[in-house]
């Protein structure tokens, strides 16, 4: 059914039965949840890509009012690490270290940092922090967990890839710790999975596949995901699923999340829209936004596919709908939806930079940067079939997120192209595949900043997090260049927020 080695495909289909498998072991998992939640006041999930996006989608989509605070450690930016470290209560924290391979560099270095941060904790009986590993059996992380006496090690499934692992322990354990009704989600997922297998595909999944394949036939390969706020993390999970499953061999769909509704009218005929509606309780502001979208949708030419989520069972059904739908679409367009061939390029080049640093090798080529004012020339080069992606190696805080959305909207209004935003290095484990292996229409702008805070050393390594962050950015930049992509880097200076504001002014004043 799919392009690719038969054995590799067969070893990637465990997600089809995951809802049943996870439900059958849920009681045992909840026992672990009960024991590891005791005496904690906050949770830190250390993980990249599918090891955190799935859990975040389950937690945020459930819109819990009363839950243990959970923080996501998915950045090697020194400023962001400092901020998160200050939030964590050293003696009352549960650290979930999540990596399917057990060797993800960002995850392991962040674990070392937080372990060092709480290293002087008193015994757990007196309120010390706890560590739990989620990984595949036999991985390096399992060994780390044993050597450091983790409170629990929870195994994933070897036959379920990272982006399809949302309903395995990688998603279910953190969500259960946060109080999500995971049983209801799994029951909804089982219902959808059974329908798809018994009838080949049920109505909602068939509609999704027909819609997306029809869009591709019309050369609409940019998918704008418009989600109500509680479903924004689900949109990010869908973004990863589409990017890594389909973005290869020059084919695929470019998913774009977070666009301002007002900017949809500037999009061209290469775009389509998916609308994720949250039908449970919502605020007056959210209701106003819904009404505004409904009014606007009558006057935009892009096709729109609507989907509604009202309760936990709906969420489970929606997850399986997208997993079946994207896997089927992979077959239709002739790609293997279960591999990610270009992801390793960035890792290889980042590792090369780190090894060169350790060996004091200065022969690596330097990354050239453009002046912030030169972005106007880049805008003039954009054509209607392009999309732009801001790759932000910046602190991910609410202000930077807000400003980058304003910046993206300004580019869309000036150039009439969709614009995506990814925070590095997290996006490397999400949209990085479609950037490198997908359609040849991307224009990439890497945004960096110069950190002037106190260095945060990586325990046991000969480098600090600032260097690691730079190496990961350099690796991705070099990978995009190696593949012939259009990519530039802009250093925003010592203050990223001020730098983004300056970029916004330049874009808004440009004449394209």
Same domain flag for 59 and 126: yes
φ, ψ of residue 225 to 5 degrees: the values are: -100, 110
* 123 Cβ contact partners less than 8 Å away, ≥ 6 residues apart: none
**Same-domain check for residues 294 and 435:** no
Range of the domain at 207: 186-333
pLDDT value at residue 364 = 62
* Among 333, 358, 392, residue at a domain's last position: 333
In sequence order, which residues have a C-beta less than 8 Å from that of residue 161 and are 6 or more positions away?
12, 15, 50, 100, 338
Are residues 190 and 174 part of one domain? no
Residues 16 and 137 in one domain: yes
Domain membership flag for residue 12:
yes
Run of H or E residues at 275: strand 271-278
Q: What are phi and psi of 273, to 5 degrees?
A: -130, 140
- Which one of 300, 333, 366 terminates a domain? 333
DSSP secondary structure letter of residue 189: H
Q: 276, 300, 333: which is the final residue of a domain?
A: 333
Pairing label, strands 93-98, 70-73: unpaired
Residue with tokens 């935009």: 300
Are residues 208 and 276 both part of a single domain?
yes
CB 507 within 8 A of CB 409: no
CA 106/CA 351 separation, integer angstroms: 12
Distance (Å, whole) CA 422 – CA 431? 8
Q: Considering only CA atoms, give the Rg of the chain.
A: 22
Q: Tell me the backbone φ, ψ of residue 199, rounded to 5 degrees.
A: -115, 20
Q: Is residue 192 part of a domain?
A: yes
Count CB-CB contacts under 10 A for residue 38. 10
> Which string of DSSP letters, residue by residue, matches 72-98?
EE----HHHHHHHHHHS-TTSEEEEEE
Q: Same structural domain for residues 441 and 299?
A: no
183 Cβ contact list (under 8 Å, min separation 6):
23, 26
Q: Same structural domain for residues 208 and 289? A: yes
Q: Residue 183, SS3? A: helix
Q: What is the pLDDT of residue 127?
A: 43
Q: Is residue 1 part of a domain?
A: no
173 lies in the same domain as 193: no
Rounded-to-integer distance, Cα 77 and Cα 96, Å: 19
N-to-C CA span, the chain: 45
Distance CA 112, CA 470 (A): 19
Do 371 and 323 sit in the same domain of this protein?
Answer: no
Q: What is the pLDDT of residue 125?
A: 43
Place of tokens 């919502």: 282
Tell me: do 167 and 156 sit in the same domain.
yes
Residue 164 lies in a domain: yes
Give a yes or no: residue 403 inside a domain.
yes
**Residue position matching structure tokens 């390793």:** 344
Contact 19, 189 (CB under 8 A): yes
Identify the pLDDT of residue 280: 79
Rounded to two decimals, what is the model's pTM?
Answer: 0.95
Among 364, 393, 382, smallest CA distance to 476 is for 393
Predicted confidence pLDDT, tens digits, the chain (512 residues): 787 788 788 888 999 999 999 999 999 999 999 999 988 999 999 999 999 999 999 999 997 777 889 999 999 999 999 999 999 877 889 999 999 999 999 999 999 999 999 875 544 444 457 999 999 999 999 999 999 999 999 999 999 999 999 999 999 999 999 999 999 999 999 999 998 887 655 688 999 999 999 999 999 999 999 999 999 999 999 999 999 999 999 999 999 999 999 999 999 999 999 999 998 766 777 788 888 888 888 888 899 999 999 999 999 999 999 999 999 999 999 999 999 988 888 888 888 877 876 776 666 667 889 999 999 999 999 999 999 999 999 999 999 999 999 999 999 999 999 999 999 999 999 999 999 999 999 999 999 999 888 899 999 998 999 999 999 999 999 999 999 999 999 999 999 999 999 999 999 998 76
Q: Do both 453 and 384 map to the same domain?
A: yes
Per the structure, how many domains does the chain have?
Answer: 3
Q: Is residue 338 part of a domain?
A: no
Whether residue 269 sits in one domain with residue 152: no
Closest CA to 257 of 371, 399, 352, 389: 389
> Helices 78-87 & 465-482, crossing angle to 10 degrees?
130
Evaluate whether residue 57 is within a structural domain: yes
Strand runs labelled E in 245-370: 254-257, 271-278, 304-309
d(CA 244, CA 57): 17
Rounded CA separation 366/402 (Å): 31
Instruction: Please state, in angstroms and rounded to a whole number, the distance separating the CA atoms of residues 187 and 489.
Output: 46
Q: Give me the CATH number covering residue 408.
A: 3.40.50.10490
Helix (H) or strand (E) holding 154: strand 152-155
Nearest to 447 by CA among 387, 395, 482: 395
């Amino acid at each position: 059914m799919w392009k690719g080695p038969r054995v590799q495909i067969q070893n990637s289909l465990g997600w089809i039965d995951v809802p049943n498998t996870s439900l059958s072991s849920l009681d045992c998992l909840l026992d672990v949840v009960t024991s590891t939640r005791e005496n904690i006041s906050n949770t830190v999930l250390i993980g990249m890509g599918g090891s955190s996006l799935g859990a975040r989608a389950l937690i945020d989509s459930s819109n819990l009012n009363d839950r243990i605070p959970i923080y996501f450690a998915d950045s090697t930016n020194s400023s962001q690490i400092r901020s998160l470290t200050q939030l964590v209560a050293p003696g009352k924290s549960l650290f979930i270290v999540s990596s399917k391979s057990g060797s993800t560099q960002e995850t392991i270095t962040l674990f070392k940092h937080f372990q060092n941060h709480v290293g002087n904790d008193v015994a757990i009986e007196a309120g010390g922090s706890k560590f739990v590993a989620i990984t595949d059996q036999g991985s390096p992380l399992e060994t780390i967990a044993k050597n450091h006496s983790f409170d629990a090690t929870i195994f994933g499934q070897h036959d379920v890839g990272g982006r399809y692992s949302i309903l395995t322990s990688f998603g279910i354990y953190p969500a259960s710790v946060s109080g999500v009704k995971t049983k209801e989600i799994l029951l909804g997922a089982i219902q959808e999975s059974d329908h798809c297998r018994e009838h080949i595909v049920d109505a909602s999944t068939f509609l999704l596949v027909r819609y997306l394949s029809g869009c591709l036939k019309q050369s609409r390969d940019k998918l704008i995901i418009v989600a109500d706020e509680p479903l924004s993390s689900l949109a990010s999970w869908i973004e990863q699923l589409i990017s890594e499953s389909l973005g290869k061999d020059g084919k695929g769909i470019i998913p774009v999340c977070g666009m301002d509704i007002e900017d949809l009218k500037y999009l061209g005929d290469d775009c389509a829209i998916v609308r994720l509606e949250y039908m449970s309780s919502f605020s007056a502001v959210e209701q106003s936004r819904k009404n505004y979208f409904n009014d606007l949708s009558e006057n935009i030419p892009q096709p729109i596919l609507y989907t509604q989520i009202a309760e936990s069972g709906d969420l489970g059904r929606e997850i399986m709908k997208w997993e079946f739908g994207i896997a089927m679409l992979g077959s239709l367009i002739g790609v293997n939806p279960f591999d990610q061939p270009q992801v390793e390029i960035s890792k290889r080049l980042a590792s090369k930079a780190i090894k060169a640093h350790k060996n004091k090798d200065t022969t690596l080529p330097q990354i050239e940067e453009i002046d912030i004012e030169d972005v106007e020339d880049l805008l003039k080069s954009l054509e209607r079939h392009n999309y732009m992606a801001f790759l932000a190696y910046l602190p991910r805080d609410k202000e930077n997120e807000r400003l980058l959305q304003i910046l993206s909207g300004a580019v869309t209004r000036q150039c009439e192209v969709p614009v995506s935003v990814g925070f590095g290095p997290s996006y490397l484990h999400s949209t990085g595949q479609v950037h490198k292996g997908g359609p040849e229409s991307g224009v990439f702008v890497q945004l960096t900043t110069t950190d002037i805070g106190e260095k945060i050393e990586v325990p046991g390594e000969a480098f600090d997090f600032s260097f690691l962050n730079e190496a990961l950015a350099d690796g991705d930049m070099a990978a995009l260049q190696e593949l012939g992509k259009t990519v530039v880097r802009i250093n925003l200076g010592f203050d990223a927020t001020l730098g983004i504001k300056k970029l916004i002014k330049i874009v808004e004043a440009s004449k394209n």
